[in-house]
């Protein structure tokens, strides 16, 4: 007996080879494609991780604005009267920076 579990080494090697082939066959069958992944990243990441990533990506809401018109964004309550976003990052939509036209930040403090 070559191993502690009582099987000959040639049988153990055959079992290991069969498991390895079955594993790669299964991964190939159920593989999930994520848009910009390379082959090396794909092999390093498990099927479960790729699947969870893809499911979360599909469930997550899009961050796209309904329109780029300042007036309609103010009316819908996405930005306030100074141009800052109400939810999310405290950034000014009009100036595209963290301050408004007067140089004040979201809380009214000079930056």
Token representation of residue 10: 């040639």
Query: Is residue 34 pLDDT above 70, yes or no?
Result: no
Are 27 and 39 part of one and the same domain? yes
Are 53 and 66 part of one and the same domain? no
What is the per-residue pLDDT for 23? 67
Residue 54 lies in a domain: yes
Under DSSP, is residue 92 helix (H, G, I), strand (E, B) or coil? strand
Are 55 and 17 part of one and the same domain? yes
Q: Dihedral sign for Cα 83, 89, 90, 91, please.
A: negative
Q: Say how many domains are in the chain.
A: 2
What is the per-residue pLDDT for 53? 81
Predicted confidence (pLDDT) per residue in 49-104, tens digit: 878 888 888 888 777 888 899 999 999 899 999 999 998 888 999 999 999 999 99
Least confident range from 4-8, 29-33, 79-83, 99-103: namely 29-33
Residue 2 lies in a domain: no
Residue 101, Cα to own-chain centre: how many angstroms? 35
Are 77 and 91 part of one and the same domain? yes
Structural domain of 43 = 9-59
């Amino acid at each position: 007996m070559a191993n502690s579990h009582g099987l000959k080494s040639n049988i153990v090697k055959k079992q290991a080879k069969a498991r390895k082939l079955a594993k790669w066959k299964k991964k190939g069958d159920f593989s999930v494609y994520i848009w910009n992944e390379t082959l090396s990243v794909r092999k390093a990441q498990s099927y479960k991780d790729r699947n969870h990533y893809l499911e979360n990506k599909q469930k997550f809401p899009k961050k796209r604005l309904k329109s780029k018109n300042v007036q309609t964004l103010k009316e819908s309550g996405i930005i306030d009267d100074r141009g800052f976003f109400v939810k999310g990052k405290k950034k000014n939509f009009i100036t595209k920076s963290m301050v408004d036209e007067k140089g004040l930040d979201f809380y009214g403090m000079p930056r």
